[in-house]
Amino acid sequence: MSKLDKAFELFDDYNKRSPERIVWENVEYPVEYFYAIKLHEWVTKLTPEADESLLLASRCQHIGRWEIARKSYPDGRVGYLKWRSDLAKYHAGIAAEILSGVGYDEETISRVKQIVLKQRLRSDTDVQTMENALCLVFLQYQYDDLIAKMTEEKMIDILRKTWGKMTIPGHEAALSLQYSEVGRDLILKALKED
């Protein structure tokens, strides 16, 4: 088994411990495992020639996410941003430990951590590919559920922010997805100039 395959196996085993479940196409998955697989799929669609560091990062971007609860941070934007920042560092730490155990060198581990931490977003092609893929996972697998919980105004704001995080390859892929009628209408409203 290659180092890459071994790392994937260890990342997947870790994420399969996620206590929350999702049912997709009549199959139940641990949530973080499901999203890691889908993120990896999007990264390989967006960048078929992705290097090993990007492939590794795609499979561990949110590893162990359930282990730091959002409710352990204050409500509001400041608490949310602090939680996200702490989570990113946590994911990078778990990934580094696993990669080191598999035998990856410090350079590769450092690169994976840069991508997981989204360092140099916009200027680093791999980090931007990851951001595009994260937005596409949201739009394909989480968007419709969120519509039911939010006001139209809030959803339009979320969609505009999501769109702003992506570059042209992300936009093109997002426009190729199949949406519910409500989902499609909201995207059209969000992308329309005020």
Tell me what pLDDT residue 193 has: 62
Tell me what pLDDT residue 194 has: 46
At 34, which amino acid appears? F
Q: Where are the domains of the chain?
A: 1-117, 121-194
Within 10 Å of residue 27's Cβ, how many Cβ atoms? 8
Helical (H) or strand (E) element with 52: helix 52-60
Calpha distance 116→93 (Å, rounded): 10
Of 32, 10, 37, residue with least CA distance to 20: 32
Of 67, 39, 69, residue with least CA distance to 55: 39
Tell me what pLDDT residue 28 has: 97
Chunked mean pLDDT (size 10), the chain, 194 residues: 96 97 95 97 97 97 94 91 93 97 97 95 94 97 92 93 95 95 93 72
- 27-67, pLDDT tens digit by residue? 999 999 999 999 999 999 999 999 999 999 999 999 999 99
Calpha distance 87→70 (Å, rounded): 10
**What is the Cα 63 distance to its own chain's centre?**
10
Q: Is the pTM of this model over 0.85?
A: yes
